[in-house]
Amino acid sequence: MWPAIARTAIERYSRPGELVLDPMCGVGTSLVEAVLTGRSAFGVDLETQWVAHARSNVDAALNENSSSSMWADVTQGDATDLTGLLEQWQLLEQAGLVLTSPPYGAVTHGQPDTARVTGGAIRNRHHRYHKQSLKQSLATSSLPRLTAGLERVFTGCHAALKPGGFMVMTSRPFTEQRKLVDFPGLVIRAGLAAGFVLHERCVALLSRWDGQRLHPHATFFHLANTRTLRARGAFRVLRTHEDVLVFRRPA
């Protein structure tokens, strides 16, 4: 999730002093933005290495915003068992906002090493899930399992929110076996099944507008893969937006 998207959602759908929860927090972008805007933050992630990164990032944000009385923490855990985890932390019905983005698998993660580093071809690193978490990871599961998993995650998010609280989730379509998957539609159905009401559906541009055309901000590998597939005659485009789906727990 881009920091600007996270900050906009936090400032629009929560109040200073409230708790922001991210059940699939990755390296903690949403948590950092919450702390910097005067909110408390709690994050959960399946990957132990990302939990360590998120804690480091959150600590840096707390140091930067040292005048705030807010607190922040990150723990390792499975978001599909969020309710049980929140019971342990005594955080049921404590959050004003849930803000998260789903995992999309290795294709969207990683850091490229250029030929200057490798001496040859460009290499991706830090893009694979740990072997111990592969069986639990939603990012590597089938669509039916992903749908069921999201419903369990959202059920936990519903339990985490105060009545009237918001859940904001970014999502985008993706291609699987040469078919375009309406992932935002899938997310909406999962949210409704968990007891949420769809409050708003917004769009966040992942690009720069110069007044005449969009300039997509694509990762190196997204750009390279798109060019390769187009050269083979496949229809592929660079995605320049994300759906920002805003749900609300009924008061």
DSSP string of 179-194?
EEE-HHHHHHHHHHHT
| Domain residue limits at 76 | 3-209+243-248
180 part of a folded domain: yes
- Provide the domain count of the chain: 1
For 36-73, letters b (16+ CB in 10 Å) and e give bbbbbbbbbbbbeebbebbbebbeebbeeeeebebebe
Percent of the chain with pLDDT over 70: 87
Query: Highest-confidence range of 40-44, 48-52, 132-136, by mean pLDDT?
Result: 40-44
The answer to whether position 145 is within a domain reads yes
Q: Which residue is associated with the tokens 């009924």?
A: 250
Residue 126 lies inside a defined structural domain of this protein: yes
Threshold 0.75, pTM exceeds? yes
Has residue 237 been placed in a domain? Answer: no
Residue 148: CATH number of its domain: 3.40.50.150
User: Which pLDDT score, from 0 to 100, does residue 21 have?
Assistant: 98
* pLDDT tens-place string over residues 121-178: 777 665 555 555 444 556 555 677 788 889 999 999 999 999 999 999 999 887 777 7
Q: Where is average pLDDT lowest: 14-28, 71-85, 164-178?
A: 164-178
